[in-house]
């Protein structure tokens, strides 16, 4: 009979959904896509007789919206620095037990403390540090040194430049080129920065966040304002022709960190996992997979030459002092978006 | 008389806009270049990577499981709802019709957030089961509408005839009404399956730990994954399978029609 068959298949589907099999503890990660070496995850599962399930988000804001709406059950979340204070203020995080994280205490590279926003590390352990700089085609720039934001004004590269389509990054770059702070809220300084971006706008091809890597890889663009992780991938494919520069006036730095939310179920296992990721060998392996730097002293010394010499992965120590972290500006964000609208609307 | 070239131009443009992106995507799935900007040579390495990426397959399994479950559940609920709407013409049914119709016009984002709020309010943890419930909720309306359309052409005297000949209500439903409604139910089910498998907005809100579906996975990969070309491969595979399915169903239909036609001819000649 048709109806009975329908009920039977429904029952089977329901059984499949509830899931059978032996009960192992499951660690739930909420992170960016492809942001952890799957081999490490498998190794962790075997070592701790557990399962690791990974869910992914595409921006801090989507992650925040979901977790705040009450979607609990994640054991470790990987937000960017600036989102952590917001999570902590709303009582959504639990303090970490440092005694369970000996690898973090032993290996965390103190020099990177300047690029995290919560250096006391009550709720957070840095996972990976990222920077914004200028990618360039060595074969097209020739002898021109690429080391400053002023290159964006160069008539030689007119129409061959892409800037990030992100108001904090691009207005921030303009602020830095004028010698101001990235997090400036002074209307005078912002007015001047606006003029700089408008000047750049006449010289560039477009504002772009996703496709600029393609443009740099194919040689369509000569200069590309971009994130180090994106550029590192392109550079590993074509180390001959592509370079990455940290502008001498200063640049933005950001850090993705690991936090344990209040609603986590496997708190002890989550600590074990964070500690596992700070093991020098594991961190070294992971850096090579994610193409972003984990601030782990021992792991950095273990990196193969190709990675250690790639400035887009390991910035030279002398430039680190020029990095400035983007802070959440609260109400002043409106000021930035107004300037950005002006920039976008001006021909 | 000279033919107006305008319709032909429009047709060509529509076809280009529909199929050119798909062709580019398919070509890029074989492109050696990671970024697809330039053609750097033929490769199958993205397909190999796809084959080895357990995360993507897990997401696909979740998607298929939910789509199948939601289709079956919404076919059952949708058909019964349509039968009730068809049989009784009361004020309550007018309200019922309104309620069923609403999910078709309510913005998805509203539905997603309200479902999430409901689930958290009753203390339900999000996961595959909440996605299944959410998908059944909106798929049901589509099944109801297609079955209702089928019922509008339904000749009620057939049931009366069956009852006259001694069938009880259940038998007349199973033997007469259901087979006649089946095409409607199946097309509603197919619609439900398609809607469920590519829903992003609602799923995004009601998904919990360990229940990422394929659309969620793909969306989060677009911005940050170094393995982006894998998505091209996955789309190419899905596309090929879909085309094969459509082709198979068309061939089967043609065969059936041919057979029916021949049978009819033979019936007449003897």
pLDDT tens by residue, A89-117: 888 999 999 999 999 999 998 888 888 88
Average pLDDT over every residue of A281-285: 95
Q: Does A28 touch chain B (CB under 8 A)?
A: yes
State whether residue A2 sits within 8 Å of chain B by CB. yes
Tens-digit pLDDT profile for residues A148-195? 999 998 888 999 999 998 888 999 999 999 999 989 999 999 999 999
In this structure, is residue B45 part of a structural domain? no
Determine, for residues A13 and B220 on separate chains, whether the beta-carbon distance falls below 8 Å.
no
- Shared domain for A228 and A335, answered yes or no, is yes
Instruction: Flag whether pLDDT at B52 surpasses 60.
Output: yes
pLDDT of residue A208: 86
CA distance A222 to B262: 69
CB contact under 8 A, B37 and A233: no
CATH of the domain at B126: 1.10.3720.10
The mean pLDDT value for B131-140 works out to 94
Is B125 at the interface with chain A, CB within 8 A? Answer: yes
Is B163 domain-assigned? Answer: yes
- Tokens 């990577």 found at: B49
CA distance B74 to B81: 10
pTM here? Answer: 0.78
A1 pLDDT higher than 50:
no
The secondary structure of residue A34, as a DSSP letter, is T
Size of interface A-B (CB pairs under 8 A): 115
Write the pLDDT tens digit of every residue in B81-92.
999 999 888 999
Q: Are residues A187 and A325 in the same domain?
A: yes
Per-residue burial over A213-233, b = 16 or more CB atoms within 10 Å of its CB, e = otherwise:
bbbbbebbbbbbbbbbbbbbb
Q: How confident is the model at residue A211 (pLDDT cuts 50, 70, 90)?
A: confident
- Taking the C-alpha atoms of residue A170 and residue B205, their distance in angstroms, rounded to an integer, is 31
CA distance B32 to B23: 16
Which 18-77 residues of chain B touch chain A by CB within 8 A?
33-38, 53-55, 65, 68-69, 72-73, 75-76
Tokens of B230: 């894998």
| Torsions phi, psi for A258 (to 5 deg) | -110, 130
For residue B150, is it within any domain? Answer: yes
Task: Tell whether the model's pLDDT for residue A3 goes beyond 70.
Answer: no
10 Å CB burial of residue B249 (0-12, 13-18, 19+) is exposed
Number of domains in chain A: 2
In a domain, A113, yes or no: yes
- Among A13, A137, A166, A289, pick the best mutation site for testing chain B contact (most B Cβ within 10 A): A13
Return the CATH number at A39.
3.40.190.10
- Cross-strand partners of A259: A77, A124
**Cβ A53–B210 below 8 Å, yes or no?**
yes
Residue A83 three-state SS: helix
The answer to whether A18 contacts chain B (CB < 8 Å) is yes
Distances (CA, A) of A113 to A87, A121, A249, A300, B41: 20, 10, 20, 16, 44
Residues A266 and A231 grouped into a single domain: no
Asked whether residue B263 is domain-assigned, the answer is no
Residue A19 belongs to some domain of the structure: no
| A116 close to A81: Cβ distance less than 8 angstroms | yes
Residue B103: inside a domain: yes
- Best CA proximity match to B240, nearest among B228, B252, B251, B248: B248
Contact A35 B208 (CB under 8 A): no
Q: Do A218 and B38 touch (CB under 8 A)?
A: yes
Q: What burial letters (b/e) apply to B177-198, b meaning 16+ CB within 10 Å? A: beeebeebbebbbebbbebbbe
Residue of A223, A243, A227 lying closest to A149 (CA atoms): A223
Contacts of A140 (CB under 8 A, 6+ apart): A160, A219, A222
Q: In chain B, where does DSSP find H-type helix?
A: 6-28, 45-52, 54-87, 91-105, 108-121, 128-152, 157-164, 169-172, 178-197, 201-206, 214-224, 229-269
Tell me, yes or no, whether A215 and A335 share the same domain: yes
Distance, in Å, from the CA atom of A40 to the CA atom of A42, rounded to the nearest integer, reads 5
The shortest C-alpha distance from A283 to chain B (Å) reads 19
Asked if residue A71 has pLDDT above 80, the reply is: no
What is the C-alpha to C-alpha distance for residues B116 and A234, in angstroms, rounded to an integer? 40
Q: Does a structural domain hold residue A18? A: no
Q: How far apart are CA A170 and CA A247, in angstroms?
A: 13
| Residue A217 to residue B35, Cβ atoms within 8 A | yes
Structure tokens at A273: 């996992």
CA B19 to centroid of chain Cα atoms: 20
CA B35, CA A168: separation in Å to the nearest integer?
26
Nearest chain B Cα distance for residue A338, angstroms: 25
Q: Which residues of A touch B54 (CB under 8 A)?
A: 38
Of A149-153, B206-210, B219-223, minimum mean pLDDT range: B219-223
Rounded to 5 degrees, φ, ψ at A246 are -100, 110
Evaluate whether residue A144 is within a structural domain. yes
Both tokens assigned to A253? 């730095």
Q: Which of B34, B116, B222 sits opposite A71 (nearest CB)?
A: B116
On whether both A240 and A143 belong to a single domain, the answer is yes
Q: How do residues B62-121 score in pLDDT, each as one tens digit?
A: 999 999 999 999 999 999 999 999 988 899 999 999 999 999 999 999 999 899 889 988
Conformation bin of residue B61: beta by default, left when phi > 0, alpha when psi is -120 to 50: alpha
Q: Do residues A260 and A125 share a domain? A: yes
B132 shares contact with chain A (CB less than 8 Å): yes
CB hemisphere CA count around B173 (13 angstroms): 10
Residues contacting B170, CB < 8 A, separation 6+:
none
The answer to whether A312 and A237 have CB atoms below 8 angstroms apart is: no
Residues A260/A98, Cβ–Cβ less than 8 Å: no
A210 touches chain B (CB under 8 A): yes
Question: Cα–Cα–Cα angle for A37, A42, A44, nearest 5°?
Answer: 95
Residues A187, A264 within the same domain: no
* Residue ranges of B 170-209 with Cβ closer than 8 A to chain A: 174, 178, 204-205, 207-209
- Would you call A10 and B69 a contact, using CB atoms and an 8 Å cutoff? yes
Partner residue facing B72 (CB), from A6, A34, A214: A6
Interface test with B, best of A37, A56, A238, A290 (most B CBs within 10 A): A56
Identify whether residues A269 and A195 lie together within a single domain: no
Question: Which among B34, B125, B208 has CB closest to A237?
Answer: B34
Closest CA to A172 of A145, A214, A133, A118: A133
Q: pLDDT per residue over A30-69, tens digit each?
A: 998 888 999 999 999 999 999 999 988 888 888 888 888 7
Instruction: Indicate the residue of A13, A28, A210 with minimum beta-carbon distance to B68.
Output: A13
Q: What is the pLDDT of residue A188?
A: 92
> Are A217 and B37 within 8 A, CB to CB?
yes
pLDDT for res B96 = 92
A309 φ, ψ to 5°?
Answer: -90, 0
Q: Is A56 in CB contact (< 8 Å) with chain B? A: yes
Q: Which positions 216-255 of A are in contact with B (Cβ < 8 Å)?
A: 217-218, 220, 233-234, 237
Locus of tokens 């089961």: B129
- What's the pLDDT score for residue B209? 85
Minimal Cα distance from B218: which residue of A?
Answer: A33
Q: With contact defined as beta carbons under 8 Å apart, do A83 and A64 qualify?
A: yes
Q: Does B215 lie at the interface with A, CB-CB under 8 angstroms?
A: no
Chain A partners within 8 Å of B227 (Cβ): 34
Task: List Cβ neighbours of A125 (8 Å cut-off, separation of 6 or more).
Answer: A96, A101, A104, A108, A257, A258, A274, A278
What is the count of structural domains for chain B?
A: 1
Range of the domain at B98: 54-227
Neighbours of B103 (CB within 10 A): 17
DSSP A218-229: HTS-SEEEEEHH
Lowest mean pLDDT: which of A65-69, B3-7, B49-53, B208-212?
A65-69
In a domain, B14, yes or no: no
Q: A116 with A185, same domain?
A: no
A25 and B CB contact within 8 Å? no
Q: Is A10 contained in some domain?
A: no
Q: What is the ipTM of this complex?
A: 0.71
Q: What is the pLDDT of residue B263?
A: 67
Distance from CA of B253 to the nearest CA of A (A): 22
CB contact A156 to B (< 8 Å): no
pLDDT of residue A22: 59
pLDDT of A11 > 70? The answer is: no
What pLDDT band is residue A24 in, cutting at 50, 70 and 90?
confident
Chain B residues close to A14, C-beta within 8 Å: 69
Question: Is the pLDDT confidence value at B268 over 80?
Answer: no
Facing A13 at nearest CB: one of B55, B69, B117: B69
Question: Is residue B207 a contact partner of residue B216, using CB atoms and an 8 Å limit?
Answer: yes
Confidence class for position B35, pLDDT limits 50, 70, 90: low
Would you say residue A346 has pLDDT above 80? Answer: yes
Burial A121-149 (b: 16+ CB within 10 A, else e): bebbbbbbbbbbbbbbbeeebeeeebebb
| Domain encompassing residue A232 | 130-253+321-345
């Amino acid at each position: 009979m048709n109806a009975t068959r329908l009920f039977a298949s429904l029952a089977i589907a329901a059984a499949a959904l509830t899931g059978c099999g032996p009960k192992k503890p499951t660690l739930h990660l909420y992170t960016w896509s492809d942001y952890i070496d799957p081999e490490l995850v498998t190794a962790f599962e075997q070592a701790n007789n557990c399962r690791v399930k990974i869910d992914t988000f595409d921006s801090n804001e989507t992650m925040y919206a979901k977790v705040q709406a009450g979607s609990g059950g994640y054991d470790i979340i990987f937000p960017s620095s600036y989102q952590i204070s917001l999570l902590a203020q709303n009582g959504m995080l639990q303090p970490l037990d440092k005694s369970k994280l000996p690898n973090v205490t032993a290996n965390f590279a103190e020099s990177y403390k300047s690029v995290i926003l919560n250096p006391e590390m009550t709720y957070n352990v840095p996972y990976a540090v990222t920077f914004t700089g200028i990618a360039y085609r060595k074969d097209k720039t020739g002898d021109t040194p690429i080391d400053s934001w002023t290159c964006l004004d160069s008539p030689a590269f007119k129409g061959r430049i892409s800037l990030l389509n992100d108001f904090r990054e691009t207005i921030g770059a303009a602020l830095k080129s004028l010698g101001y702070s990235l997090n400036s809220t002074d209307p005078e300084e912002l007015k001047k920065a606006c003029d700089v971006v408008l000047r750049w706008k006449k010289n560039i091809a477009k504002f772009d966040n996703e496709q600029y890597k393609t443009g740099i890889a194919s040689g369509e663009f000569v200069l590309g304002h971009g994130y180090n992780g994106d550029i590192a991938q392109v550079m590993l494919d074509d180390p001959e022709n592509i370079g990455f520069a940290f502008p001498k006036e200063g640049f933005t730095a950001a850090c993705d960190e690991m936090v344990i939310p209040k609603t986590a179920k496997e708190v002890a296992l989550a600590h074990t996992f964070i500690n596992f990721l700070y093991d020098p060998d594991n961190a070294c392996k992971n850096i090579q997979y994610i193409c972003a730097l984990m601030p782990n002293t021992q792991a950095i010394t273990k990196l193969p030459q190709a990675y250690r010499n790639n400035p887009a992965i390991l910035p030279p120590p002398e430039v680190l002092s020029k990095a400035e972290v983007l802070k959440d500006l609260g109400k002043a964000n409106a000021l930035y978006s107004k300037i950005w609208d002006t920039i976008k609307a001006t021909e | 008389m000279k033919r107006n070239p305008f319709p032909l131009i429009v047709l060509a443009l529509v076809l280009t806009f529909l199929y050119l992106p798909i062709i580019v995507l398919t070509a890029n799935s074989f492109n050696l270049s990671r970024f697809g900007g330039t053609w750097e040579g033929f490769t199958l390495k993205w397909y190999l990577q796809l084959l080895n990426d357990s995360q993507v397959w897990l997401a696909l399994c979740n998607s298929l499981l939910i789509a199948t479950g939601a289709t079956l559940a919404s076919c059952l609920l949708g058909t019964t709802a349509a039968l009730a709407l068809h049989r009784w013409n009361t004020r309550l049914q007018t309200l019922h019709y309104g309620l069923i119709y609403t999910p078709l016009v309510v913005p998805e984002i509203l539905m997603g957030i309200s479902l999430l709020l409901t689930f958290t309010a009753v203390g339900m943890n999000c996961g595959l089961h909440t996605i299944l419930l959410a998908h059944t909720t909106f798929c049901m309306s589509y099944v109801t509408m297609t079955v209702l359309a089928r019922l509008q052409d339904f000749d009620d005297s057939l049931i009366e005839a069956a009852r006259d000949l001694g069938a009880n209500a259940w038998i007349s439903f199973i033997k007469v009404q259901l087979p006649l409604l089946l095409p409607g139910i199946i097309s509603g089910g197919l619609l439900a399956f398609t809607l469920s498998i590519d829903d992003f907005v609602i799923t995004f809100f009601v998904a919990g730990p360990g229940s990422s579906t394929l659309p969620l996975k793909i969306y989060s990969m677009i911005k940050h994954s170094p393995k982006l070309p894998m998505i091209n491969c996955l789309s190419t595979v899905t596309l090929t399978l879909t085309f094969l399915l459509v082709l198979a169903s068309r061939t089967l239909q043609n065969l059936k029609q041919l057979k029916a036609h021949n049978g009819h001819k033979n019936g007449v000649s003897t």
